[in-house]
Amino acid sequence: MKIRNKLLFCAALFATSLTACNNTAPKSTEPEPDNTHVDVFVLSGQSNMEGSTYWTHPTKKTPLLENYFNEQGMDFTPVKEGIPSVKTSFYGFYYPNGWNQAHTASPDTSSPEARLTPNFQPTKVGMGVGDKGDNPNPFFGPELGIANTIAEYASEENPVHLIKCAFSGSGFTKTDGANWNNRQEDPKKSLFYLLKTYTQKCLDAIAETGKVPVLKGFIWHQGESDGGEAKYEQYMRTLLGDFKEAFKSYAVDEDPANIAFLDATIYDGKGKSTLNYGTAANKAKFAIANESEEDLNFIVNGNHEEGGLGLEIGDDAKGGYNTYHYNTPDAYKLGEAYGKIIVENHLLRDK
């Protein structure tokens, strides 16, 4: 596996084991000559990206993330009250129930289409879908760790924007509803259509503020539902290629190759659930991350092996919604790892 030396140094600097695969810096690392451009990252995938962990335990009311921050000597106030230099707009739903459980930060819930309305806010706990039925806890996904890691490299006047559009339980080949392979312009059949539509709406909303959005990266975490799928790598390459083609006009130099791809392995460690067959998907993920020197592809290795973060799947006692989702500290650390890749590979312009 090709490992970039700069990221090996960064692992020691941040005192965190992080595997990132790539051999090249972005084609264009110079900041824009004015202050009108803002960096944008799109977050997508399944429930661990959507947000299925929480700030406090639903029954014990334990301040799980606050405790973790205190143990690490970090100030938890920004992630609880909002990080103004990194704004997030999110949309997603639990796949089996489709539109019926669609949630978003948008106050407009008059129709499924209206729920796609962008609503950028300072990034904070609560920007995850999770289970809004009997568990009102403020769920969150990797956006929290990303935002807190890159916050100092942005400013309130020129914030980084995160567009999160992820769907719990989604897959490439599901036949009982929408899936990632379908390219129809039908929200009930195509998750790619939803991702494309929401991303465009968010980019338009940024432009309406007078800023010029520059799409720097596509951040992904998915694979459980497609574990063992022989064509996972082919499906992922097609999705990535279609996404870059759709939004190449927002890339640096309008070159889709300048849109970085950040992926993460599927948990394959201790206590894994019976639905978590990550081996085949992870093999495909590493293959994509180990592309040629011309590609900006990276991967976070969250598993229990050399160079891995050793992230744990959570349960209700540890702070995950169930045994399929990361516990509270590890959901934060997953985002933190994405953020470190962004920072150390100069994917952000000078603030």
Torsion of CA 151, 137, 180, 26, to 10 degrees: 10
The CB-side HSE value for 301 (13 A sphere, CA atoms) comes to 23
> Which whole number is the average pLDDT over 46-50?
91
Is pLDDT larger for residue 171 or for residue 305?
171
CATH H-level, domain 5-21+37-344: superfamily? SGNH hydrolase (3.40.50.1110)
Q: At a CB cut-off of 8 Å and minimum separation 6, what does 283 contact? A: 233
Helix, coil or strand: residue 83: strand
CA–CA gap between residue 266 and residue 258 (Å, rounded):
25
The mean-pLDDT minimum among 40-44, 50-54, 81-85, 93-97 falls in 93-97
CA dihedral of 213, 218, 222, 223, whole degrees rounded to 10: 150
pLDDT at site 227? 74
Domain limits, the chain: 5-21+37-344
Our measurement of the distance from residue 146's CA atom to the centroid of its chain's CA atoms, rounded to an integer in Å, reads: 8
Q: Which of 135-139, 191-195, 212-216, 275-279 has the lowest mean pLDDT?
A: 275-279
- Taking the model in full, what pTM does it have? 0.89
The tens digit of pLDDT for each residue in 175-214 reads: 777 899 999 988 778 899 999 999 999 999 999 999 999 9
Q: What pLDDT digit, counting tens, does each position of 298-332 carry?
A: 999 998 888 899 998 887 777 887 778 899 999 99
Q: How confident is the model at residue 329, as a pLDDT? A: 93
Distance CA 75, CA 195 (A): 33
Give me the pLDDT at residue 34, please: 59
Q: Residue 39, by phi and psi: left (phi above 0), alpha (psi -120 to 50) or beta?
A: beta
* H helix runs in the chain, sequence order: 5-14, 47-50, 64-72, 77-81, 143-150, 191-208, 232-246, 279-289, 328-344
The token duo for 310 is 């050793």
> For residues 299 and 345, is the Cβ–Cβ distance under 8 A?
no
Give the mean pLDDT of 43-72. 87
User: Does residue 129 or residue 73 have the better pLDDT?
Assistant: 73
Q: Give the SS3 label for residue 250.
A: helix
**3-class DSSP state for residue 97?**
helix
Interstrand relation of 160-168 and 139-140 (parallel, antiparallel or unpaired): unpaired
Q: How far apart are CA 243 and CA 29, in angstroms?
A: 22
**Average pLDDT, stretch 265-290?**
79
What's the confidence (pLDDT) of residue 28?
46
